[in-house]
Amino acid sequence: MTELRTREAALAQLGSQAALQGVFCKTETGIRHMMQVVMQYEDTDFSGFVYHANYIKFAERGRSNFLRLAGVEHSALLQMQPPLAFVVGRMEMDFLAPARIDDCLLVETVFTQFRGARLLAEHAISRQTASGDSEPIWQAHVLAACVDLQGRAKRMPKTMLADLTPYQGTAILAPPK
């Protein structure tokens, strides 16, 4: 049996940054965000494979958690004048291998550009094996934009760019075809 913690210690661990939002790390290609997602029954389709649309949800969590940890919260964007939001304008993805129930997936997110209203991101999702290796599962290039609530592109505020720029990384995926 694993060591059992007190309720307070367990809640403290659950509330840790890494458990909820993932972490930033520095690599040879710059800064990236990493978080883990364990595949549950609800993530799979009738075949037992992870349903294809769920990879987009995992990438969105990675993107949102990246922004939150960098100091940009979606709820704060809505409080700005004018209220702002992020929208995805384009996503190019590749399904490389199927994931299954109980797989522990690593979701990695890198923002490669913050300019004007544009944000360019890359996502890589891999399966973590017992031996510590990883197997690529899914990847995507994403173009997002900062918009007002009428859907018009708006330059990101200078304070937001100042928060995000230190976390910009370089490409981790091959360029889209």
Helix (H, G, I), strand (E, B) or coil at 146: strand
The structural domains of the chain, ordered by start, are 23-167 (3.10.129.10)
**What does the alpha-carbon distance between residue 120 and residue 4 come to, in Å, rounded to a whole number?**
43
pLDDT at residue 4 tops 70: no
* Residue 64: count of CB within 10 angstroms of its CB: 17
| CA 46 and chain centroid, separation | 26
Q: Would you state the pLDDT for residue 140?
A: 98
Task: Name the pLDDT band for 13 (thresholds 50, 70, 90).
Answer: low
For residue range 23-48, list pLDDT tens digits in order.
Answer: 888 888 788 999 999 999 999 999 99
Neighbours of 108 (CB within 10 A): 24
85-126 pLDDT per residue, tens:
999 999 999 999 999 999 999 999 999 999 999 999 999 999
Which are the catalytic amino acids?
A: 45
Q: Which two tokens stand for residue 139?
A: 């990847």
Structure tokens at 29: 């290609």
